[in-house]
């Protein structure tokens, strides 16, 4: 393996660690921020920073007229509906559950690809999907008292919905990814999505007690905006371009494990044996989906 390959491996490991701990850090931040006010502020900040970096790189913001509605639709899905479901869902469940449920994203991406005739149907993949869903059931049903299904089911459902949105975005963006590149498309959809998100979040922004936000919460905001979005999105997009989708995507399987560890370390969310079995089922199922899916010509 070439030294550059090791460099990308290291960078991608740093990204999944940042993403994994983000679930617990955002839960801490929510003690001072309303979820929707926080999301609007962090994506507004991140969008400005990413647009600035893209401009410094000499990249164009131009979108061909025939692609504008498609980009807007992806922005609404990925940085509109997805972000509202994610922010509100995370506020209503545990950091560990959130990280594990978001692992369903590639499963939903495959299903959307099948229905959109972009992927070939496979019985092996169907088995992986069933196994992943069984793992989700174990995660939400076998938690200890503080993460019991009866207390977090509404948040869990929102996160499953957000995983579906991100999976659909992944499946539907393939044509535009080839045309505009991962980095450019990411920034374009984020800017358009943030322009949709902020006006819808105004009631919560106005009600937010900005003077009562602690230094810890502001530090969490910087972590979530700068590291989780700006740094991680750029590294992920660069890796997609340099080492390919398959090798980059496999690193995301580590994120839910880091999220479970982060929930335990920062929030004392202790997973049960049943949840550990669920983790193994979800990750095994996702691995089957990733390794057996094939795009249609």
What is the pTM (predicted TM-score) of this model? 0.80
CA distance 186 to 235: 12
Per-residue pLDDT tens over the stretch 6-31: 787 888 889 989 998 999 999 999 99
Distances (CA, A) of 104 to 46, 189, 233, 254, 260: 25, 22, 19, 13, 15
CA distance 94 to 155: 9
CB contact at 8 A, 146 and 275: no
Angle, CA 217 vertex, CA 221 and CA 85 arms, to 5°:
60
pLDDT attached to residue 221: 97
Per-residue pLDDT tens over the stretch 234-281: 888 888 777 766 567 667 767 777 887 888 889 887 777 776 777 777
Residue 31 per-residue DSSP state: T
CA distance 124 to 99: 25
DSSP, residue by residue, 109-140? HHHHHHHTTSB---HHHHHHHHHHHHHHHHHH
Region for 58 from its dihedrals, namely left if φ exceeds 0, alpha if ψ lies in -120 to 50, beta otherwise? left
């Amino acid at each position: 393996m070439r030294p550059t390959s090791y460099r990308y491996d290291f960078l991608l490991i740093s990204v999944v660690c940042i993403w994994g701990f983000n679930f617990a850090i955002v839960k801490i931040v929510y003690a001072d921020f309303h979820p929707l006010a926080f999301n609007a502020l962090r994506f507004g900040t991140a969008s400005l920073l990413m647009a600035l970096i893209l401009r410094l790189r000499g990249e164009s913001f131009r979108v061909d007229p025939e692609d504008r509605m498609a980009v807007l639709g992806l922005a609404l899905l990925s940085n509109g509906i997805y972000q509202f479901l994610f922010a509100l869902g995370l506020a209503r469940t545990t950091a560990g559950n959130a990280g594990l449920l978001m692992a369903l994203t590639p499963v939903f991406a495959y299903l959307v690809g099948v229905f959109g005739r972009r992927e070939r149907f496979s019985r092996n993949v169907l088995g992986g999907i069933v196994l992943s869903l069984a793992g989700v059931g174990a995660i939400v049903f076998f938690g200890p008292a503080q993460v019991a299904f009866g207390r977090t089911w509404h948040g869990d459902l929102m996160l499953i919905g957000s995983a579906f949105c991100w999976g659909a975005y992944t499946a539907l963006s393939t044509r535009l990814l080839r045309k505009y590149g991962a980095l450019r498309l990411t920034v374009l959809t984020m800017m358009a999505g943030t322009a949709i998100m902020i006006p819808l979040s105004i009631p919560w922004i106005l009600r937010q007690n900005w003077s009562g936000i602690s230094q810890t919460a502001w530090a969490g905001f910087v972590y979530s905006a700068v590291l989780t979005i700006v740094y991680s999105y750029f590294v992920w997009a660069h890796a997609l371009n340099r080492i390919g989708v398959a090798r980059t995507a496999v690193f995301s399987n580590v994120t839910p494990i880091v999220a479970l560890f982060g929930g335990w370390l920062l929030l004392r969310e202790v997973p049960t044996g049943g949840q550990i079995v669920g983790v193994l089922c979800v990750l095994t199922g996702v691995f089957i989906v990733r390794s057996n899916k094939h795009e249609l010509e």
